[in-house]
Structure 1
Amino acid sequence: MDTNQQALQELQEGNMEEAARLLNQAIEEEPDNPVAYINFGNLLAELGEAEKALRFFEKGIELDSSAAAAYYGAGNVLFNEDKFAEALTMYQQAHKAGLDDSSLHYMLGMAYFQSGRVPHAMASFKRAVELDAEDTEARFYYAMSMAQNGMVEEAVAEFHVVTEQDPEHADAYFNLGVGYLHTKGAAEALPYFEQAIEIEPDHMLAHNGKKEASKLLNE
């Protein structure tokens, strides 16, 4: 096991100081190897050191312009800093460099979604779900994108799958309530708002939805 692999093992076990020591050692042993810089970037990102993490990812990219993991790591740091346009560029670069898993497409979707580019988001979430049908959050945002694109019935079907995969997903039940309120009426919608509140008692949107549905039923 080389120094980088030892560092990764320590990182996975939560031994940050030992991981940092080993990564420093790896960089001293092989200063032109991008892997140690990328791993150090991941460690710093985990510690919330965004600016330092970015510098290490940038160094990794400088040493290997096809280092998909460096672009992806940088994208995550930028996304967490609410720099969605910059994050999107990094995720796109990671994809060009050969990364093509469900996690990347989910984060691409999130960056598009947060940037208001909903059709692009929907396509990315769709791809994430195709690659990993069990990715509940990707499916949830796929449904959200559908709803925002006016595909309410299709969104409702996906929200139902979300609640099957995660019966405690309050936001999915709330959105089912909204979907049924617009397509089938208050009587169909009300149980979903109630279910969302049962799971998350302070879900204000669900309380508002329940109030609206109850009002319509009493008119």
Structure 2
Amino acid sequence: MTYIEQGIKYMQDENYEMAVKAFNDAIETEPDNPVGYINFGHVLAHINDTERAISFYEKALELDPKAGTAYYGLGNIAFEQQQYKQALRHYTEAVDLGLTEADVYFMIGLAHVKREDIKLALPFLMRASEMNPDDMDIAMQYGLALAELSHLDEARRVFDGVYQSYPTHADALYNRALCDLFLERTDEAIKDLNCVLDLDPEHTLAQGTLMQIEQILDQQ
């Protein structure tokens, strides 16, 4: 097992101290290999040593200007610092260099969401969902973007898919109920909202929405 493989294994086990040692050994053994610097950057970013993480990603790019994963790492740091425009620039560079993975498209979509540009976010979230249909977080963000743009039938299908896969996912059920409500399927919405409260009695959004529906129905 190489030092890099050891470091990745330590990261998976959340043993970051040993991961740092392994990646440091990798760099000392192969100082011209950008992969060691990239993975060292990942560990540093994970433990919030941001400045050093950036320096390691930049060193990797000095060695290999086409290291898309280094740009992805820089994008994640910019995202965490709420520098969404800069994050988008880094993510786009990563994609242009061939890093076309679901996580990258997802983060591009999220960065657009943070910039309140849902129309630009939607195709990236859709692509991420197509590439990784079993990822609950991607599906939820995709569904929320669809709902925000009033694609309610499609959004409902997405939320329903999450709920069918994760029957205890109260937020998926709640958002399915909202879609039903805006689609004027009030009875279905009420049923779903009550199910949400069965799953999570403290779900304040479901409580408030159900109360508003009941008040409107009482006035009719």
TM score, norm. by length of structure 1: 0.91
Aligned to 1:11: 11
Aligned to 2:54: 54
Q: Partner amino acid for 1:7?
A: G
Deviation at 1:107, TM superposition (A): 1.4
| Distance in 2 (alpha carbons) for counterparts of 1:191 and 1:178 | 11
Aligned to 1:184: 184
Cα deviation digits, residues 7-57 of structure 1 (max 9, x gap): 223333333222212322322333322111111111112212223222211
Aligned to 2:175: 175
Aligned to 2:86: 86
Aligned to 2:64: 64
Deviation at 1:102, TM superposition (A): 1.4
| Distance in 2 (alpha carbons) for counterparts of 1:194 and 1:213 | 12
| Distance in 1 (alpha carbons) for counterparts of 2:11 and 2:156 | 41
Partner SS, residue 120 of structure 1: helix
Q: Mind listing any 5+ residue stretches in structure 2 that lack a counterpart?
A: none
Q: 1:198 to 1:48 in 2, by over 3 A?
A: farther
**What's the % identity of the aligned pairs?**
33
| Distance in 1 (alpha carbons) for counterparts of 2:200 and 2:111 | 27
Partner SS, residue 28 of structure 1: helix
| Distance in 1 (alpha carbons) for counterparts of 2:26 and 2:157 | 50
| Distance in 1 (alpha carbons) for counterparts of 2:52 and 2:197 | 41
Aligned to 1:27: 27
Q: Mind listing any 5+ residue stretches in structure 1 that lack a counterpart?
A: none
Trace 1:1-219 onto structure 2 (pairs within 5 A). Answer: 1-219=1-219
Deviation at 1:185, TM superposition (A): 4.2
Q: Aligned-pair RMSD on alpha carbons?
A: 1.8
Q: Is the 8 A contact 1:186 1:216 kept in 2?
A: no
| Distance in 1 (alpha carbons) for counterparts of 2:199 and 2:86 | 36
Partner SS, residue 157 of structure 1: helix
Deviation at 1:188, TM superposition (A): 2.4
Q: Partner amino acid for 2:41?
A: G
Q: Is the 8 A contact 1:187 1:217 kept in 2?
A: no
Count of residue correspondences: 219
Q: Partner amino acid for 1:49?
A: D
| Distance in 1 (alpha carbons) for counterparts of 2:196 and 2:76 | 30
Partner SS, residue 133 of structure 2: coil
Partner SS, residue 205 of structure 1: helix
